[in-house]
């Protein structure tokens, strides 16, 4: 059974100032999504499913429609703010922000029936990361509650243009995830240290900590677990204007509840991402360097 690639592409890109998921950052106009799909195909994934918003459907399909459907079956699902689990009612007329990545994952529950990897559309994860994910999913495709996460070094995921939010991972001696701490406002300080700039007590990091970049290897049984957590979220925070139900936090909760085990697969692939518009030039340079080293062809879909 070939695994599916589930791409979270419904974000609004508030800090970037636009839709990162359709912005050209590679060679010959390629987007980061193009490189992810290319890596997925050569790693052995059998289908790609994009989670988007109806408001960006036309723009998204203008960029990707017909590009790689001849190589891999491609489907679309929508994440909308008025999509709720059965029995949940939320009245929040001032809400403009999406409900988060847990909600995005839940929106794909009817389209994904096979083991799958889920990741962000605006992060370049690298070839080895997809190979690790595909290998894990092919091996563990029938085991419920047995998941994995692709881990990256914290110091390799920072931005020179501002602070970033990262899920800092804690693992046991066997390399399984025990907890994720969602830390906002992480940055390299003027003295070279890496710290989360909390108001009263900054948390300083060595830089070699493993962080989640939202690349997960899951099986379809996760959807019922996610729905339960999502219902709890709406009850507790559905009235808030900006709270999000984030996938790393949800999976960390499942681990704490004994409902999931998550193996951390540490990758040597370079993560390339853009948080701010100022990050785009460096990201483009890094992707071009990979093309120059023949990691990717100059024309992905020729």
**Contact (CB, 8 A) for 154 and 266:** no
- What is the rounded distance in angstroms from the CA atom of residue 264 to the CA atom of residue 282? 28
Is this prediction's pTM over 0.85?
yes
- What is the rounded distance in angstroms from the CA atom of residue 9 to the CA atom of residue 33? 9
- What is the rounded distance in angstroms from the CA atom of residue 246 to the CA atom of residue 5? 19
Tokens standing for 216?
A: 């997960």
Is 298 a member of any domain? no
Regarding beta strands 47-52 and 4-8, do their DSSP bridges make them parallel or antiparallel, or are they unpaired? parallel
Q: Is 47 helix (H, G, I), strand (E, B) or coil?
A: strand
Is 285 a member of any domain? yes
Give one DSSP letter per residue of 48-70, joined into a string.
EEEEE-GGGHHHHHHHHTTTSTT
Q: Is 185 helix (H, G, I), strand (E, B) or coil?
A: strand
Q: What is the four-CA torsion angle of 150, 291, 272, 176, rounded to 10 degrees? A: 10
Tokens standing for 146?
A: 């047995």
Q: Is 177 helix (H, G, I), strand (E, B) or coil?
A: strand
What pLDDT does 17 receive? 46
Is 301 a member of any domain? no
Q: Is 279 helix (H, G, I), strand (E, B) or coil?
A: helix
CATH of the domain at 55: 3.90.550.10
Is 250 a member of any domain? yes
- What is the rounded distance in angstroms from the CA atom of residue 230 to the CA atom of residue 83? 11
Q: What angle is formed at CA 26 by the lines to CA 24 and CA 30, rounded to 5 degrees? A: 60
Is 302 a member of any domain? no
What pLDDT does 193 receive? 85
Is 247 a member of any domain? yes
Q: Which of 36, 29, 35 is nearest to 5 (CA)?
A: 36
- What is the rounded distance in angstroms from the CA atom of residue 225 to the CA atom of residue 120? 21
Overall number of domains in the chain = 1
Is 248 a member of any domain? yes
Residues of the chain with pLDDT under 50: 16-17
H or E element in which residue 152 lies: strand 146-153
What pLDDT does 270 receive? 86
Measured distance between the N- and C-terminal CA atoms of the chain, rounded to whole angstroms = 27
Question: Residue 156: which domain range?
Answer: 4-292
Is 299 a member of any domain? no
Distances (CA, A) of 17 to 175, 254, 294: 37, 33, 32
Distances (CA, A) of 78 to 33, 63, 118, 259: 17, 17, 15, 27
């Amino acid at each position: 059974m070939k695994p599916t690639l589930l791409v979270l592409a419904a974000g609004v890109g508030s800090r970037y100032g636009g839709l990162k998921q359709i912005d050209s950052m590679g060679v010959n106009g390629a987007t980061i999504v193009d490189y992810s799909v290319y890596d997925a195909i050569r790693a052995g994934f059998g289908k790609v499913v994009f989670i988007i918003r109806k408001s960006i459907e036309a723009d998204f399909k203008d960029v990707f429609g017909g590009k790689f459907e001849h190589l891999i079956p491609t489907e679309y699902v929508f994440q909308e703010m008025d999509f709720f689990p059965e029995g949940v009612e939320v009245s929040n007329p001032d809400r403009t922000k999406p409900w988060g990545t847990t909600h995005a994952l839940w929106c794909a529950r009817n389209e994904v029936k096979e083991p799958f990897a889920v990741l962000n559309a605006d992060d370049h994860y690298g070839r080895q990361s997809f190979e690790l994910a595909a290998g894990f999913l092919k091996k563990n495709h029938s085991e419920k509650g047995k998941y994995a996460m692709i881990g990256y070094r914290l110091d390799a995921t920072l931005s020179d243009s501002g602070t970033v939010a990262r899920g800092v991972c804690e693992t046991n001696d066997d390399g399984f995830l025990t907890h994720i701490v969602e830390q906002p406002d992480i940055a390299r300080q003027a003295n070279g240290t890496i710290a989360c700039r909390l108001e009263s007590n900054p948390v300083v990091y060595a830089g070699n900590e493993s962080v989640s970049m939202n690349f997960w290897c899951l099986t379809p049984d996760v959807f019922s677990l996610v729905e339960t957590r999502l219902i709890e979220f709406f009850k507790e925070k559905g009235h808030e204007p900006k709270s999000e139900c984030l996938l790393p936090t949800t999976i960390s909760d499942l681990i704490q509840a004994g409902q999931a085990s998550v193996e951390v697969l540490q990758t040597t692939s370079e993560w390339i991402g853009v948080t701010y518009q100022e990050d785009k030039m460096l990201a483009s340079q890094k992707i071009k360097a990979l093309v120059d080293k023949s990691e990717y062809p100059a024309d992905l879909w020729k």
